[in-house]
Structure 1
Amino acid sequence: MKTEELTTIEHLSNFLEGTQAVAFTISSDKDKRYRWLQKELVRFDYLSLNKPDKGIVIRYLLKVSGYSRQQLTRLIAQYRKTGRLSRQQRTTAGFKRRYTDRDIRLLAEMDERHDTPCGHAIKKLCERAYQVFGQSDYETLAGISVSHLYNLRQSNAYQRQRRTFEKTRPKSSTIGERRKPCSNGQPGYIRIDTVHQGDLDKQKGVYHINAVDEVTQFEVVCCVERISERYLIPALEQLLETFPFMVQGFHSDNGSEYINRKVAKLLEKLRIEFTKSRPRHSNDNALAESKNGAVVRKLFGYEHIPQRWAPQINAFNHEYLNPYLNYHRPVFFQQQPRMPRASSARPMPTPI
């Protein structure tokens, strides 16, 4: 049975309920589909039907035509108003470009000649080129706005013509004092550094935090998953509590894991002096660097260790590694040489 054999509302209802098999094909051509819709509306005398029957006809047209409910509603409104369905599609080429690639190249050349001044300056230069010096090529650019001038600078045509790079501008941090720590022979001045346990398939490994006292060589090693504030602050609190004496100084390199407000707030709360390494002075934190190789790398190696093992490694360090380093492993460090005692005996006479 074909759609032409559906002649009554009852036939349409049975078709929608799926109790009647109907073979139908709708052309992909939009004009033919519009003509088919108009033919069906005329065949069932849609305008004279009551509301329930109109609903059945609409459901039938939705199922067969494949149009959305909104589109079909607009088409029925057009049929009710004009008595026919006709396509009113208008294809346009879009908005006409005001500033062409030629104008963008002129802008790039002007920027290159004047070393890329600000937008207001380059706008005035384009105006002078056209109004004062009579260069008709700059007629369009003479009326450009400053904001749209920056848009043209970001376009692909401009970037192909001229691409500029700026060096990273260093910004000094007021956190910590940039100097070498001075312990004056007293314990409690620690040097600290971070050791990363390798990458694997773009996945970061664990991080070891190694802290060494400058005078007594007392060493504490902790392990964290990441060096973010969430993991680092608890590790630092555990590290400071492990030292058997009061920590008075905290010296690190210029890594962002230590040079931040959270760490500075923690050290300020404990009244600990915060210092950081100076530029071109690699020996400022050499003590911690040497312990990284002699202790951490020698024990854990250089291979990747997944971050999920950080809690187990940290527990191992707290229970076994730190006691071994500080109570069982010999540590050699420089001591002040003893001055010879003054002799009370008379000096021997020099032989003649």
Structure 2
Amino acid sequence: MSCETRMEYIAVQKRRYRRAEKAYKTRLLDEVCAVCGYDRKHATKLLNDSFTPSRGKRGRKGEYDSAELRKTLKTLWLRSGQLCGKRLKPAMPHWLKHYEKHYEPLSTECREKLLRISPASIDRVLKPFKAQYQRRRNTGTKPGSLLKNQIPLRTSTEDIDRPGYLEADTVAHCGGSMSGDFIWSITYTDIISTWTVTRAVWNKGAEGVMHQTHDVENKLPFAILGFDCDNGSEFLNHHLTRYFLQRKQPVCFTRSRPYHKNDNAHVEQKNWTHVRELLGYDRLDNPAMIRELNALYRDWERLNNFFKPSFKLKSKVRVKSRYKKKYDAPATPFDRLKVSGILGEQQEAALQREYETLDPFELGNRIQRRRRKIEKMKKTGESAAVGEPGFPDCLPTLTTPELEGTH
């Protein structure tokens, strides 16, 4: 029986119920309960017109229903790059320290609730604000046959147990067409700590990629022990081979299998979170942008390395046709480096001082300003500046002593 039919039936029975004697009311009530399947108390209320439908959610008011908490949580979620609840929960203490400098003061009750709220509750509160983005992907990797047989393959990272082993990959800012000259981004990520840095280069010549790799190594808080890349010619060349192998302590230089992206899964993932999410898929064919892009990347990597927790896969087991995965508790790359034991006292102290001078909200504001400037440069087509860092013609030549002196 449909709801409309039941209501019509109840409307007829109401008139009979009001005029009936007590004994007949009892039999009429039994009939209504049998026909409609109602509880006797509920049927009595319907026939007496004393039933009033409840409005809103029943039960006690939710603990996290306050307007102040929802507003604060939404702001933190948006400013942190729309982290999921499981990542936003461990990031909350880092961001709350700087929240009141940029927004209104928080009540003690709201602050305590934000610090103890669970990841599931975060997702429930943020559900009305959630947004999904679907973007197309592109690739510009061309096989490099040079030195291919001399560089060993790496297909697994299970034997890696400490920071220092990097994966590297390039991202093309071609706008859907690989013709002509344009800017490329190079992403470097540490497998254990997930510490990630990115640099922009004009085209992807071997010399430009090698010099950006040298700049990244000088700024990393740990020594490079291993370097793994795909089979692109920007990595498989004599410049990078000499750079890693002709030193006092050679770096373990390896490559992935052709057409096996999962061999470089760590850096492939970062290509989205650290490049595409920041710059999208537009074509960047103005070499004057390189200086501003590298400044943008340095702010972006500080925000991600110090203030954005990430997951690390702990185990992966196949059960019949499905994989069952377990993850460690989310942590920032900075926190992972501290507990790894690989940092010396001076390195850890320097990183801690840098962390204390950073403000995630100010970093976010600076990132937005730089993005607006890059958008303006795309529209106006500002001419390239002389001496642009990252432009191949302006790069210094590294001599053999410099290579041997690197850590």
TM-score if structure 2 supplies the norm length? Answer: 0.38
- Indicate the structure (1 or 2) with the bigger Cα radius of gyration: 1
